[in-house]
Structure 1
Amino acid sequence: MWLWFAIGSSVFAALTSILAKVGIEGVNSTLATAIRTVVVVIMSWGMVFLTNVQGGVASISRRSWIFLILSGLATGASWLCYYRALQIGDASKVVPVDKLSVVITLVMAFLFLHEQVTVKSVIGCVLIGAGTLLMVIA
């Protein structure tokens, strides 16, 4: 089931890039990020109430709160950088560089989460890096 959600994520991420590139024209990138964030907040809390899981807030541990807040800050920083890059660069170049996050995530998962590194994942990282470089300089 995770694969279907991951595919959905990639399709919606692609739509996000194209829609944002069109929508950000003539709009300050920080303001555009703030507007996007408000929409995401409304949609997320709507889903919380629609699925009736709002009662779970009280049971979230202090550790989880800290890491969720840090994750939110990282997301905000990512979106601010992404929207600014998208505003001044071509979507066909910005998006592949943004997807280098796959390589960075695999390295961080190995270093911090002690996840296994396989020959397959190393080859994949090299190919993603090489593909990104090819798309950006071409």
Structure 2
Amino acid sequence: MSAFVYALLTACLWGMVPVIEKIGLGKVPAGVGLFYRGFGVIIGMLCLGFWFTVSETGLKIDLKSASLLMLGGILASFIGQFFFYRALKLGDASLVVPVGATYPLVSFVLAVLVLHEKITPGRIFGILMIIAGIVLIKGK
């Protein structure tokens, strides 16, 4: 499969999951929801993740790469997900999900500052569209 097809599959799954999670958070605190989501990730890793990891490269990894990937897991899959669940619990999914999905704006700024990636007119236009989207969706 191509990168584009994988990206479309990702969008479909990531588009469905917040609705499922909003329903799941109906009667439980965000922290409890995060615990059970994490449990689901563990089950997924045990069933599929280990197989994919070992079959591709084994478990060989340098300390810097392992540390950065674990930091990413803590920031995105734990802290970020907790904030997302709090937002879902308190607000409408139709507002929370699009605003939460503006993370490419942060990635763009950091990629330019840290990775020295190029700023192009198309990328600037995309960033302006993200900002406009936030303004439009927030409304009042």
TM-score when scaled to structure 1?
0.92
Partner SS state of residue 53, structure 1: helix
Q: What residue is the counterpart of 2:112 in the other structure?
A: 110
Cα distance in 2 for partners of 1:8, 1:136 equals 27
Cα 1:77–1:52, aligned 2, differ >3 Å: closer, same or farther? closer
CA drift at 1:100 = 1.5
CA drift at 1:15 = 0.6
Q: Structure 1 residue 133 and structure 2 residue 135: aligned? A: yes
Q: Does the 8 Å CA contact 1:33/1:80 hold for their aligned counterparts?
A: yes
Q: What residue is the counterpart of 1:121 in the other structure?
A: 123
Partner SS state of residue 25, structure 1: helix
Cα distance in 2 for partners of 1:62, 1:34 equals 27
Q: Structure 1 residue 63 and structure 2 residue 64: aligned? A: yes
Q: What residue is the counterpart of 1:2 in the other structure?
A: 3
CA drift at 1:25 = 0.1
CA drift at 1:2 = 1.3
**Structure 1: runs of 5 or more not aligned:** none
**Structure 2: runs of 5 or more not aligned:** none
Cα distance in 2 for partners of 1:128, 1:7 equals 19
Root-mean-square deviation (CA, aligned residues, Å) is: 1.6
After TM superposition, the runs of 4+ consecutive aligned structure 1 residues lying more than 2 A away are: 48-52
Task: Write the deviation string for residues 74-125 of structure 1: whole angstroms up to 9, x where unpaired.
Answer: 1111100000100000001101110120111111111111222111011001
Cα distance in 2 for partners of 1:10, 1:60 equals 29
Q: What residue is the counterpart of 2:25 in the other structure?
A: 24
Q: Residue type matched to 1:113 in 2? A: L
